[in-house]
């Protein structure tokens, strides 16, 4: 099967490329669009697509491997592996999430996105979240 760009990153952003790559792939993993046994592009392949160095992609893969999503083997490539749901985080983890969410919304508003649009987007995403792991294609 031929992949569409698979993921997309913004090289002009201040957030590190390897982190963006990991975040994008993580989103696909969480939503189920990438399922166990699926093969990921090789580090050099994806690096060429994104115009970064293959070591940058390798660093992203390593992060996901440490989180338990991937199995990396030299010479063979990267595959998605089954992963048990991690222990729910404590108050601190949940509060950090809320904090980052608030900051993101405030920034969006400051850039001119209307509260109405923001609220609508939140509702949309909430809907998607409820369908995670149910509807993997």
Residues of this chain that interact with DNA (CB under 7 A) are 14, 16-19, 40, 42-45, 51-56, 58-59, 61-62, 65, 72-78
Closest C-alpha among 48, 43, 33, 44 to residue 1:
33
Least spacing, CB of residue 25 vs a second copy, in Å: 9
Least spacing, CB of residue 38 vs DNA, in Å:
13
Among DNA, a second copy, none, residue 35 binds (CB under 5-8 Å by kind) = none
Q: Which residue, 76 or 109, has its beta carbon nearer to a second copy?
A: 109
Computed on alpha carbons and rounded to an integer, the radius of gyration of the chain in Å comes to 17
Q: Which is nearer to a second copy, 1 or 126 (CB)?
A: 126
Whose Cβ is closer to a second copy: residue 2's or residue 85's?
85
58 binds, among a second copy, DNA, none (CB under 5 to 8 A by kind): DNA
What is the C-alpha separation between 80 and 64, in angstroms, rounded?
A: 10
Tell me whether residue 42 is exposed, middle or buried, using C-beta atoms within 10 angstroms of its C-beta: 0 to 12, 13 to 18, 19 or more: middle
Question: Which residues of this chain interact with a second copy, rule CB under 8 A?
Answer: 10, 20, 23-24, 26-27, 29-31, 67, 69, 85-89, 93-94, 96-98, 100-119, 121-123, 125-126, 129-130, 132-133
What is the C-alpha to C-alpha distance for residues 109 and 114, in angstroms, rounded to an integer? 6
Specify whether the CB–CB gap between 47 and 21 falls below 8 A. no
2 vs 87 by CB, closer to a second copy: 87
129, 131, 15, 10: CA torsion to nearest 10: -130
């Amino acid at each position: 099967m031929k992949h569409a760009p698979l993921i997309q990153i913004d090289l002009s952003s201040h957030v590190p490329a390897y982190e963006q790559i990991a975040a994008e792939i993580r989103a696909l993993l969480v939503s189920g669009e990438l399922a166990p046994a699926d093969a990921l592009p090789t580090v050099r392949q994806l690096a060429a697509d994104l115009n970064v160095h293959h070591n940058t992609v390798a660093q992203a893969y390593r992060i996901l491997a440490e989180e338990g999503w991937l199995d990396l083997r030299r010479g063979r490539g990267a595959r998605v592996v089954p992963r048990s749901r991690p222990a729910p985080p404590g108050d601190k983890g949940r509060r950090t999430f809320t904090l980052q969410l608030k900051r993101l919304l405030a920034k969006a508003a400051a850039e001119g996105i209307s509260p109405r649009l923001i609220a609508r987007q939140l509702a949309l995403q909430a809907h998607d979240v409820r369908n995670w792991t149910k509807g993997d294609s």
